[in-house]
Structure 1
Amino acid sequence: MTRALWKGWLKLAKVTVPVALYAAASTSDRVTFHTLNRATGHRINRQFVDAETGAVVDRDAQVKGYEVAPDDFIILDPEEIAAAIPDSDKTLTIEHFIPCASVDDVYFDKPYYLAPSSKDAAEPFALLVAGLRARNVVALAQTVLFRRFRTMLIRPNGAGLTGTTLNFDYEVRPASEALSDAPKVKIKGEMLDLARHIIDTKKGSFDPATFDDRYDAALAELVKAKIEGRRIKPKPAPKVSRQSDLLAALRQSAGKPDDAKPDQKPAPKPKRKAG
C-alpha cells in the first residue's frame, strides 16, 4: 500500500475533513548508479572538508552560514533555524476558489494526490470534489508542508483530488528576462497558411503512455549488455538538415512542391474546341 507523505485536515469554513497526501510523481524507477573507486570497485563515501585547511568536518561540527560579504558569514545555529520555521497545525485551509485556468503553469511545483484518511471523511470529501467540479473551479489552500509554508492548488481528479504546490512569486523569473531578445516578426501569407496546414495534420491528444524515457531505456539496455558480456555499438549521430530557405522547408514539411501554393488546386485542362 502506498505510504502517505503527510496527514492532516482539509478545512473549508466550518467543515474539516481528515485527509492524506500522497506523491503523484516519483523517480524511484529510474536507473541509478553508485560512485565507485575504479581501482578497487569499492563505493566512495562523500565527506565535507574545510575549504581552507582540508580537514574533514564531522556532521556535529557543521552549521549553516549566510554570506553577508565575500568570505564573511553570520552563523545560524540549528535551534535558531528551527525556531524561525512556522509551526504546523496540520491544517490545509482553503482560502479562495478561482477559475481553473487562472494560474499560469510556470507557478506549478510538485503534484500530490489528496484522499480521505478515514471512513467518516468520505462524505464531506466527496461533497468538496463534487462542488469543485460543478462550479468548474479550483481551490487555493495554505499550510506548513515539509517545514515550509506552502500554497497548494487543489482540483478534482476522479473521485479524489490533485494538489499541486505552487512556486512563490519571487521564485518565478519574469518571462521578459528570457524572451526580451526574441525578435518581433510578423508572419502572414503563404508561410502562415503552411504553418496552419502542418499543425492541422499533426493534431492529436495527450497520452503519457506513448512518451518513452529513451535515455533511461538506453541505460537499462547498457547495464543488461554489460551483465551479459555484450558490447553495444554506439548509434550514428542523426543527420541534421540545414535549410536556409524557411518557405521551402515549410513547403517540404507540408508535402508540397517548392513552387506550389498551400492547398493549390491543379489548373483546369483546356476544353477541346467543337468541330
Structure 2
Amino acid sequence: MARPIWSGTLSFGLLNVPIRLMSGERHNDLHFRLLDQRDNKPVRYERVNAESGEEVPWKDIVKAFEYRKGSYVVLEESDIRGAASEAHEVVEIDTFIDAGEIGPSYFEKPYILVPAKKAEKGYVLLRETLKKTNRVGIARVVIRTREYLAAVMAQDNALVMNLLRYPADIIDPEDYGLPEKDTKTYRITPKEMEMAKSLIESMAGTWKPSDYRDEFREKLRKVIEKRLAKKGVTADIEEEHEAPEDATTNVVDFMALLKQSIAGKKRTPAAKRAGAKASKPAAKTAKSAGKKATAKKVMGKVAAKKTAKKAPAKRARA
C-alpha cells in the first residue's frame, strides 16, 4: 500500500477534516542507465568544482541564486523553509468557485485526499456539497518546503486536490500570433464547416481511459525482453509494508461549526492535531535475492516469485 506524503487536515470555514495526502499519479516510464560501451560499467555523474576539478561532497554543497552572470547569493535551508507558509500539513481552502472557471492549462499535478479513520462524515459532507453546487475549493498547501496553490474537487467517491500553476507560469496563447479573425477571412465556406461538423459527429464517443495504452512503452518492453532472453538476469524484488493508519478522531458537531462559519464569514486557522505531523517513512524492507531467471520471469509482474528461492532477508537500515 502506498504511503501518505503527510497526514494533516483539510480546512474550510471552522471545519477541519483529518486527511492523508496521497499521490494521484503513477510513473510507468522505463528508466535507463548510461554505461561505458567498452566494459558496460555504469557512468557516474559527479559533483565537480568548476575551477579546481575536484569532486565536492554533499555536506559542502549549498544552494545559491544567480542574480547576475557569475554572481550568486547563498541561501540557507532555513531561508527556504521560512519562505513557506506556517500552515504545514493543512489544505486550507480560501474560497469556492464554479468548476468551469479554471482553464485546463492551470492544472499541474493531482493528489488524492483520503479521510483519516472516523473522519468520513466531514469528508463526505464536503464531497457531496461540491458535487451538488458544481464548485471547486481554491486552497493553499505546503508540500515539503514549498507552498502551492491548489484546487480541491469532487471526483466520484474521492476528493482530489490538483496543484495549480500561477498565472506567471503560464504562457498566453496570444503570444504566438494565433489566427483570430472570423472564418470568412480564412475562406472557410459554410459547406466545409458542415462537413467538418459531420466528421466530428461520426467520430464521437465516450471517454474511456482504459481504451488507451502507452504503446511506445509496451513495444520497448518487448525489445528489452528479447534482449534479456539471450542472457540470464538476477531480479531483486522489494516489497512494501502497509503504512500505519492515522489516529482516530473525535466526534465533531458539524452543524454548529457550519453555522459559526456562515455567521462569522471568515475562517480561523486549522488547529493542529496531536500526531498530525507527517509519519516518518517506514524502514526499507529487505530485498530478496532470486536465482537467474528468464526474461519473461523478470518482466512478467514478478512471476519469478513462484520459482526463485528466497535468500535470508537483510537487516533494514535504521
**Structure 1 Cα separation of the partners of residues 154 and 79 of structure 2:** 39
Which residue of 1 is the match for residue 217 of structure 2? 216
The one of 127, 130, 133 equivalent to 1:129 is 127
Query: Do the aligned partners of residues 77 and 14 (structure 1) sit closer, same or farther apart at CA in structure 2, a change above 3 Å counting?
Result: closer
Q: Displacement of 1:58 after TM fit?
A: 1.6
**Structure 2 Cα separation of the partners of residues 189 and 102 of structure 1:** 31
- The question of whether the paired residues in 2 share the 8 Å contact of 1:113 and 1:162 is answered with yes
Which residue of 2 is the match for residue 157 of structure 1? 155
**Structure 1 Cα separation of the partners of residues 2 and 77 of structure 2:** 32
Q: Displacement of 1:51 after TM fit?
A: 2.2
**Structure 2 Cα separation of the partners of residues 114 and 102 of structure 1:** 22
The one of 146, 149, 154 equivalent to 1:148 is 146
1:177 pairs with 2:178: no
Q: How many residues end up aligned between the 2 structures?
A: 227
Which residue of 1 is the match for residue 244 of structure 2? none
- The question of whether the paired residues in 1 share the 8 Å contact of 2:84 and 2:142 is answered with no
- The question of whether the paired residues in 2 share the 8 Å contact of 1:9 and 1:90 is answered with yes
Letter in 2 for 1:113: I
Q: Deviations over 1:116-159 (max 9, x none)?
A: 0122x111111111111121211112122222111211111222
Query: Do the aligned partners of residues 216 and 78 (structure 1) sit closer, same or farther apart at CA in structure 2, a change above 3 Å counting?
Result: same
Which residue of 2 is the match for residue 67 of structure 1? 66
**Structure 1 Cα separation of the partners of residues 142 and 131 of structure 2:** 26
Which residue of 1 is the match for residue 296 of structure 2? none
Query: Do the aligned partners of residues 181 and 15 (structure 1) sit closer, same or farther apart at CA in structure 2, a change above 3 Å counting?
Result: closer
Q: Secondary structure at the match of 2:132?
A: helix
- The question of whether the paired residues in 1 share the 8 Å contact of 2:114 and 2:159 is answered with yes
1:103 pairs with 2:102: yes
**Structure 2 Cα separation of the partners of residues 107 and 77 of structure 1:** 31
Q: Displacement of 1:186 after TM fit?
A: 5.1
Letter in 2 for 1:206: W
Q: Displacement of 1:17 after TM fit?
A: 0.7
Q: Displacement of 1:25 after TM fit?
A: 0.9
- The question of whether the paired residues in 2 share the 8 Å contact of 1:88 and 1:145 is answered with no
Residue ranges of structure 2 left out of the alignment (5+ in a row): 232-318
Residue ranges of structure 1 left out of the alignment (5+ in a row): 231-275
- Superposed structure 1 runs of 4+ greater than 6 Å apart: none
TM-score scaled by structure 1? 0.76
Aligned pairs for 1:1-275 (under 5 A) are 1-27=1-27, 29-119=28-118, 121-178=119-176, 180-182=177-179, 184=181, 185=186, 187-229=188-230
Q: Displacement of 1:77 after TM fit?
A: 2.9
Q: Displacement of 1:170 after TM fit?
A: 1.0
**Structure 1 Cα separation of the partners of residues 178 and 11 of structure 2:** 45
Q: Secondary structure at the match of 2:33?
A: coil
Higher RCO (C-alpha under 8 Å, 6+ residues apart): 2
**Structure 1 Cα separation of the partners of residues 116 and 222 of structure 2:** 41
Query: Do the aligned partners of residues 133 and 82 (structure 1) sit closer, same or farther apart at CA in structure 2, a change above 3 Å counting?
Result: closer
**Structure 2 Cα separation of the partners of residues 93 and 69 of structure 1:** 37
Q: Displacement of 1:173 after TM fit?
A: 1.3
**Structure 2 Cα separation of the partners of residues 127 and 195 of structure 1:** 44
